[in-house]
Amino acid sequence: MSKKIKKEKNNENPAKSLETLGINVVSQIKKGKNPEIPIPIRALSNVEFDEKSQTVTLGNKISARYFFNVAHAKKFLQTVEVASISKNLLSEKKHASLRDVFYMAKRTIPGTKVNLVDEQTESDSVLEDLELITDLSREQLHVNANKNGSVAGKVVIEDKGDTIDWSKLGSGGWSIPSNVEEIKFKKVTGKFILYMEKAAVWERLHEDKFWEKQNCIIMSSQGQTTRGIRRLLQRLTSEFNLPIYVLCDNDPWGAYIYSVIKYGSINLAHISSKMAIPSVKYLGITCDDIEKYKLEKHSIKLKDTDLARIKQISEYTWFKDNKAWQRQFKMMKENKTKLEIQALSSRGISFISDVYLPEKIKNKDFLN
Amino acid sequence: MAKTVAEELAKKQQSISVSEFFTKNRHLLGFDNPRRALLTTIKEGVDNSLDACQEAKVLPEIKVKIKQLEEERYSVIVEDNGPGIVKAQIPNIFAKLLYGSKFFTMKQQRGQQGIGISAAVLYSQLTTGKPAKITSKIGKNHPAHYYELKIDTKNNEPDIVIDKEVSFDQDHGTRVELEMEAIYQKGSRGVDEYLKQTSIANPHAEIIYTDPEGQKIKFPRASDKLPVEPKEIKPHPHGIELGIFISMLENTNSKTLTSFFTNDFIRVSSVTAKKICDEALFKPTEKPQSLNRDQAEKLYKIVQNTKLIAPPTNCLSPIGDDALQKSLEKEVPAEFFASITRPAAVYRGNPFQIEAAIAYGGQLDPEGPIKLLRFANRVPLQYQQSACAITKSIIDTNWRNYNISQSRGALPQGPITIAVHMASVWVPFTSESKEAVAHYPEIIKEIKLAVQECGRKLATHIRRTVRVREQRERASLFEKYIPEIASSLHNLTKTNKKEIEDNLYKILKKSLKDLMPQEEENVEENKKRKK
C-alpha cells in the first residue's frame, strides 16, 4: 500500500472492494497467519504539503492492524464489522447515517463486558479508515453524515428531480446535504461566495438580504466545515470560477477552519484533492480589523489551550512561510486576545452587512 | 514551735524496698498488666535460655508450657538444654534483682539491662506469694539441683525455701517454674505470636510450646548452624553518653588520660588522645579519677567533636539472609519470599546491621495493611509499632513503585509480611520498655535500602504473575472475539463461518506465546525511561 491513493478507482463496484478486503483477511487466516489489514496513518506525522497542488496530502506511512494483538484486536473487529455493515447497505440499496452505523455495530460481545463500539467516534473513525483501505468515499459506502449548514443566493439547482432556487427558500435557506455529488447547477448568477463558520452570522446576513445586495452566495456550517459543504464549495468554484471568501472568528480555531477549506485537513488528507480549494481567501476577522474598527474592548482573553493551538498551527508547513499569517499569529500571541465575528454587532446590529463586509470586499482586504 | 514542713516530710521518707521500687516501675519492666506480665516472664525465660545455649555453643531446644490454675492464675515453665547453672549462682541469678553479667559490655546481645528473670520471680512472689522453682544440671556426672526461692525484698537478697538434689531427664539444662497472676490471650501481642516470631529470628532454635489448652505447637529449626558468636568490643567514644563516660573515668584502671583513651576505647590512637588532652588544656598524664564533673563534660564535648575512625563492624552477628528467609518460609504461608542482609553501618559510633525479608501472596490476608515483624538483636518487638524507626522507614518507602498499593503516610497494603532485624552492639530504643527503635537517620536509611531491595524483587515477581494472568485473560478475550469476526467475514466473503473460526482458534493457540515478548519490550522501555 505504499502507492498513493488512486482516486475513484473502484467507483464501479464498491461491494467488490469490500469483498476484496474480506478475502484478503480470510486467505491470511487460512494460511495460519495472524491476519493484518494495512492502513495508511492519518496523523500529522504522515501528511505532506504538496507545493504544486497547494494541498495537504497523505504520506506513505502504513500501519498494520493485527487481529491477534491486544491493542489492535477490537479495532480490527470494528473494521471488518463496519465493512460488513456497509456491504449490506450497498446490497439493499439503502443509505445510513453515521449514527445508524454506530447503532448497527454497537452490541456487547457475548461472554464479555466489552462493547464492539462504545462511542460513535469509534465507528466514524473506522469508516474513515475504510475509505482509505477501499479507495471509496464514505458516500460511496452508502453512509452519510448529518445535514449541516445553510446556503442562500442567486443559484438554481436540480436535486433528485426537484428544481430548487436558493433565493426563494424563506428564512432557513437550503440545508446542505452530506452528499452533493448528484446535484446539477442550472443557473448561477452570484459573483462570489461568502462562507462563515457561524450559523448565527449567516442568519444575520440572510435577514439583511446581504446576498441580494452584494449579488453573492452566503453559506455557513456550525464549527468545522463538513465534507458536503467543502465539496459544494469546490464544485461551485471549479465549475463557475467563483471566488470564495471565508469569515471566521479571530482565533487559532478560526484560522484552522480556513486552513481546512483551503489546503485540506490532516484527518482527511486522503481526499484533499476532492475537497481542498487553494484559491479561497480569508476575509476576516483579522487582528488588524480589531484595531481598525476599534473592537479592542470587545475581545476575549486567550486561554492557555488557545495559545498552545496558535503555536501548533503556526508551525504547520503550509503556514510556516506565510508572512501575512505569521504576522497574525504573532499579533494574537502579543495581544493575548481573540475576537468573535459577532463582536461586530457592538457597532450596530447590521454593521457587519452594511459596513464591515462591503468595505473589506471593495478594498480586497483579504489574507491569502 | 511547730515543726517545719521539711521535718514533717522527713518522717515519711525512708528507704524504699525493692518491692516498692518494682511496683512503682512495673511499666518500665514490662509488668504493667497481667497480660503483659505473662509475656514478659516468658520473654525473660526464653532470652536467658537462648543466651545460655549460645554461650555453650549448643543448638537450643526450649520447652515452654503454660498451665491455667485459676481464672487469672497461671503456671509458666521454661526449660532449656543449656549449660546449666552452678549451684552457688542459682539463688543470685533468680532471687536477686539487678544481678547479672550483662553490664557495661559492648556486644550484641538480647536483653541489654539485666533486669531479667529475677523481675519475673518478684512479680510471681508479689501476686501469689509462692516461691520460684528452679532446677538446673551442669553435666552428665553432676547432680541436678532443685531450689525453691523467694526474694527478701527488704535487703534484695535470695531467700532459700527448699534446696535439694533431684533427678533431671537431660544431661544439662535449666528449668524455671513460676506461678503468677496473669491473663492469657492470643493475638499479635500474645505469647503464641512471640514464640513464633522468636523462632523466625532464631532459625537455629527449636521451640516446643504447650499452650493453656494443652495443645503442643512445635516451631522447628530452619538451620542447624549456630549463629556466629558476637565479638565484644570496647566502646567507641562517639557511641557513649556523658554519664557513662564519667563513670568510666571514675572506674578505669588506666593511670593517665592518654592510656584511658587508648585502652578503654577503640579507635583512639595515642596521638589523637594527646591532641584531645591538649585541646582541653589537661595534662596527658593526668589521673582520670582527678577530673571533676565539669572537667569531664568539657573533655567529653571535645571528644565528640574530634574526628575518629568508625568502629569495626565485624563484631555483629546477623541472622543471615538465607536463614531469615528459611525461617519465614517455615512460619508464613506465602507463595513468594525474598530477603537481604545489608552491609554493616554505623550510627553515633555504634556499629549496626539491618536485615529484611518479605513474604507475599499465598494464604496471607489480601485485605488491609501488611503485617510487620520487627526484631532487635533477635528479639521480637511486639509493642509500640507506630513509634518505631522500622515502621517509619517502611511508610516512607514508596511501595507503589513495586505495584503495591499504599495510602499516603501509611503502611502499604496487601498480602505481605515484612520482617526487619536490627543487629547492633547498642540498639537505641525510644524508651525503657525497649519496644521501638529510635529514629536515627543512618538507621532509617539502612532499613529503607533493605526493604527497597526486597520490594524490587517482589515487584519482579508480581509483574511476572500479573503477566501470566493477563495473558490468560487476553487469550479468553480473543476467544470471544473469534465468532464475531468470523460472522462479519462470512458476510463479506461468504466463506464458511466454521472454517474461519477453526483456523482462528488454531492461530490463537500457536501465537499465544508470541503475544508476550511485546509486553517485555515495553517493560524494557519503561526501565530505560526511568534511567
**Which residues is A68 bridged to in the sheet?**
none
Of A29, A73, A84, the CB nearest to B500: A29
pLDDT of residue A12: 67
Domain at B214, CATH number = 3.30.565.10
Are B493 and A109 a contacting pair at CB < 8 A? no
Q: How many CB atoms lie under 10 A from the CB of residue B427?
A: 21
Q: Is residue B435 domain-resident?
A: yes
Chain B contact for A156 (CB, 8 A cutoff) = no
Q: Say yes or no: B89 and B199 in one domain.
A: yes
Are A110 and B493 a contacting pair at CB < 8 A? no
Q: Say yes or no: B102 and B42 in one domain.
A: yes
Burial of B19 (0-12, 13-18, 19+ CB in 10 A): middle
Burial of A342 (0-12, 13-18, 19+ CB in 10 A): middle
Rounded Cα distance, A294 and A337, in Å: 14
Q: Say yes or no: B68 and B105 in one domain.
A: yes
Q: How many CB atoms lie under 10 A from the CB of residue B272?
A: 19
Rounded Cα distance, B107 and B491, in Å: 83
Q: Say yes or no: B260 and B289 in one domain.
A: yes
pLDDT of residue A267: 84
Chain B contact for A116 (CB, 8 A cutoff) = yes
Q: Is residue B311 domain-resident?
A: no
Are B484 and A81 a contacting pair at CB < 8 A? yes
Q: Look at residue A10 and tell me whether its pLDDT is greater than 50.
A: no
Interface test with chain A among B474, B485, B500, by most A beta carbons within 10 Å: B485
Are A19 and B515 a contacting pair at CB < 8 A? no
Residue B282 exposure: Cα atoms within 13 Å on the Cβ side: 25
Q: Say yes or no: B84 and B197 in one domain.
A: yes
Q: Is residue B231 domain-resident?
A: no
SS (H, E, C) A201-252: HHHHHHHCCHHHHCCCEEEECCCCCCHHHHHHHHHHHHHHCCCEEEECCECH
Mean pLDDT of A199-213: 94
pLDDT of residue B95: 87
Q: Say yes or no: B161 and B60 in one domain.
A: yes
Q: Look at residue B12 and tell me whether its pLDDT is greater than 70.
A: no
Distances, alpha carbon B422 to alpha carbons B269, B316, B387, B446, B456, in Å: 30, 10, 16, 10, 21
Supply the angle between the helices A252-263 and A304-314 in degrees, to the nearest 10.
30
C-alpha angle A275-A278-A279 in degrees, rounded to nearest 5: 120
Measured in whole angstroms, how far is the alpha carbon of residue B195 from the centre of its chain? 12
Mean pLDDT of A10-25: 84
Give the cell for residue B15: 528507704
Rounded Cα distance, B403 and B411, in Å: 14
Q: Say yes or no: B36 and B92 in one domain.
A: yes
Q: Say yes or no: B351 and B409 in one domain.
A: yes
Mean pLDDT of B260-264: 91
Contact B116, B171 (CB under 8 A): no
Return the minimum-mean-pLDDT range out of A108-117, B193-202, B419-428: A108-117
Q: DSSP string covering A84-123, please?
A: HHHHHHHHHT--EEHHHHHHHH--BPTTSS-BS-SSHHHH
The β-bridge relationship of strands B206-210 and B216-219 is antiparallel
The β-bridge relationship of strands B216-219 and B144-152 is unpaired
Are A67 and B493 a contacting pair at CB < 8 A? no
DSSP secondary structure letter of residue A302: P
Q: Say yes or no: B411 and B492 in one domain.
A: no
Are B491 and A84 a contacting pair at CB < 8 A? yes
Boundaries of every domain in chain A:
14-144, 150-362
Mean pLDDT of B277-298: 90
Chain B contact for A77 (CB, 8 A cutoff) = yes
Domain endpoint, select from B304, B329, B361: B304
Which residues fall within 8 angstroms of residue A143, CB to CB, at 6 or more apart? A86, A89, A95, A96, A97, A98, A100, A101, A127
Q: Is residue B12 domain-resident?
A: no
Average pLDDT, chain B: 87
Q: Is residue B86 domain-resident?
A: yes
Question: With b meaning 16 or more CB within 10 Å and e meaning fewer, what string describes A152-190?
Answer: bbbbbbeeeeeeeebbeeeeebbebbbbbeebeeeebeb
CA distance A8 to chain B (A): 21
Mean pLDDT of B439-447: 94
Give the cell for residue B348: 553515633
Kindly report, residue by residue over A269-287, the tens digit of the pLDDT: 888 888 999 999 999 899 9
When pLDDT is cut at 50, 70 and 90, the band that residue B519 belongs to is: very low
Percent of chain B with pLDDT over 90: 56
Q: Say yes or no: B54 and B188 in one domain.
A: yes
Q: How many CB atoms lie under 10 A from the CB of residue B391?
A: 20
CA distance B521 to chain A (A): 14
When pLDDT is cut at 50, 70 and 90, the band that residue B115 belongs to is: low
Distances, alpha carbon B378 to alpha carbons B205, B449, B469, in Å: 11, 20, 39
Collapsed DSSP state (helix, strand, coil) of residue B124: helix
Cis geometry, peptide bond prior to residue A285 (ω within 30 degrees of 0): yes
Give the cell for residue B170: 537431660
What stretches of B368-472 adopt beta strand conformation (E)?
A: 371-376, 379-381, 416-424
Task: Say what the alpha-carbon torsion angle A38, A42, A46, A49 is, to the nearest 10 degrees.
Answer: 130
Kindly report, residue by residue over B44-100, the tens digit of the pLDDT: 999 989 988 988 999 999 999 999 999 999 999 999 999 999 999 999 889 887 765
Are B507 and A33 a contacting pair at CB < 8 A? yes
Contact A14, A136 (CB under 8 A): yes
Helices (H), B366-414: 389-396
Rounded Cα distance, B112 and B103, in Å: 8
Burial of A212 (0-12, 13-18, 19+ CB in 10 A): middle
When pLDDT is cut at 50, 70 and 90, the band that residue B11 belongs to is: low
Q: Say yes or no: B339 and B436 in one domain.
A: yes
Domain over A14-144 is classified CATH 1.10.10.10: yes
Q: Which residues of A touch B491 (CB under 8 A)?
A: 84, 87-88
Burial of B393 (0-12, 13-18, 19+ CB in 10 A): buried
Q: Is residue B351 domain-resident?
A: yes
Collapsed DSSP state (helix, strand, coil) of residue B17: coil
Domain at B276, CATH number = 1.10.8.50
Helices (H), chain A: 14-30, 73-92, 98-105, 120-134, 199-207, 210-213, 227-240, 252-263, 272-275, 287-292, 304-314, 317-320, 323-335, 351, 357-362
Rounded Cα distance, B151 and A131, in Å: 99
Which residues fall within 8 angstroms of residue B264, CB to CB, at 6 or more apart? B234, B235, B248, B252, B254
Contact A163, A155 (CB under 8 A): no
Rounded Cα distance, A192 and B30, in Å: 99
Distances, alpha carbon B151 to alpha carbons A261, B76, B93, in Å: 104, 18, 11
pLDDT of residue B422: 96
Q: Say yes or no: B451 and B472 in one domain.
A: no
Q: Look at residue A5 and tell me whether its pLDDT is greater than 60.
A: no
Mean pLDDT of A191-215: 94
- Between A30 and A13, where is the model more confident? A30
pLDDT of residue B86: 92
**Which residues is A193 bridged to in the sheet?**
A217, A244
Which residues of A are identified as catalytic?
103
Out of B313-317, B342-346, B394-398, B514-518, give the one with best mean pLDDT.
B394-398
pLDDT of residue B497: 92
The β-bridge relationship of strands B73-80 and B132-137 is unpaired
pLDDT of residue B525: 39
Distances, alpha carbon B321 to alpha carbons B106, B200, B203, B420, in Å: 24, 12, 11, 11
Rounded Cα distance, B414 and B405, in Å: 7
Rounded Cα distance, A169 and A156, in Å: 11
Give the cell for residue B16: 524504699
CA distance B504 to chain A (A): 6
Q: Look at residue A339 and tell me whether its pLDDT is greater than 70.
A: yes
Domain endpoint, select from B219, B248, B276: B219
Domain endpoint, select from B460, B479, B510: B460
Chain B contact for A15 (CB, 8 A cutoff) = no
Q: Is residue B1 domain-resident?
A: no
Mean pLDDT of B413-439: 90
Q: Which residues of A touch B495 (CB under 8 A)?
A: 22, 26
Domain at B442, CATH number = 3.30.230.10
Q: Is residue B145 domain-resident?
A: yes
Kindly report, residue by residue over A65-86, the tens digit of the pLDDT: 999 887 888 999 999 999 999 9
Contact B52, B100 (CB under 8 A): no
pLDDT of residue B168: 92
Count of structural domains, chain B: 4
Kindly report, residue by residue over B292-337, the tens digit of the pLDDT: 999 999 999 999 999 888 888 788 889 999 999 999 999 999 999 9
Kindly report, residue by residue over A170-192, the tens digit of the pLDDT: 988 999 988 898 899 999 999 99
When pLDDT is cut at 50, 70 and 90, the band that residue B162 belongs to is: very high
Q: Which residues of A touch B488 (CB under 8 A)?
A: 77, 80-81, 83-84
Burial of B40 (0-12, 13-18, 19+ CB in 10 A): buried
Average pLDDT, chain A: 90
Which residues fall within 8 angstroms of residue A71, CB to CB, at 6 or more apart? none
Question: With b meaning 16 or more CB within 10 Å and e meaning fewer, what string describes A283-305?
Answer: bbbbbebbeebebeebbeebeee
In words, the CATH class of domain A150-362 is: alpha beta
Contact A1, A127 (CB under 8 A): no
Rounded Cα distance, A265 and A271, in Å: 9
Range of the domain at B181: 18-219
